[in-house]
Amino acid sequence: MNTLLRRLVNALMARRWSQVLVVVVLIALAATGVLNRLAPETQAQAQTPASTANHDGASYTLAGRVVRVADGDTFTLLVNGKQQRIRMSSIDAPELTKDRERPGQPMAQKSRDALSGLIGGKTLTLLCFEQDRYERNICDVPLDDGMTANQKQVQAGLAWANMEKRGKFMRDPKLPDLEQQARSKRVGIWQDGKPVQPWAWRYQCWQKQQC
């Protein structure tokens, strides 16, 4: 209120009558409390995407239809006519064959087929954290049963809980336990006594050519 009064005095001294009128109106609004009620709405309009973060820590959502499943942890979502590449958060699925120098891993096709069965063609709302250096959206993929497709893939033994770089990419604390359950049941990748983690495969086999 003091600021408004100072503006009114300055406008009167300078004979800026249009400013005088504006300040008088603002003072009247402030006196009646209308200005205070408008302030939260104005602040809400100025919010950044990060300020809408949900309880899972996601910073934005993407809603659309799944139009392609590339492998066990990557797919394409059609959002308002634009294709968005999605990399599922906190998991790492077996690698499919890329080319002669980058052969695939056991269970990779089964992992892809399982993910396609879970989400292929469906309209979903994803909880996303960020984009990676490949401009893929890093997201959790909630399903109708309360679980995420991320969790389902790990539970079925068709992806690892991503503990690369000491868990730097792990956002879902439930995943390590789900992986341990899959190990105990020896399902999916755990049928092999010593399955190679995808992040180790990409380094040892693809980069070092030591498959």
Instruction: Return the active site residues.
Output: 87, 95, 136
- Joined together, the tokens standing for residue 206 give 């693809």
Would you state the torsion angle of the CA atoms of residues 171, 113, 121, 75, taken in this order, to the nearest 10 degrees? 40
- Joined together, the tokens standing for residue 192 give 């092999």
What does the radius of gyration of the chain's CA atoms come to, in whole angstroms? 26
Q: How far is CA 18 from the centre of its chain?
A: 49
Other CB atoms within 10 Å distance of the CB of residue 88: 27
Alpha-helix runs per DSSP H in 53-144 = 108-119
Cα gap 65→113, rounded to integer Å: 17
* DSSP per residue, 159-183: SEE--HHHHTT---TTHHHHHHHHH
Residue listed under structure tokens 């910073």: 59
- Joined together, the tokens standing for residue 138 give 């890093």
Q: How many CA atoms lie within 13 A of 23 on its CB side?
A: 18
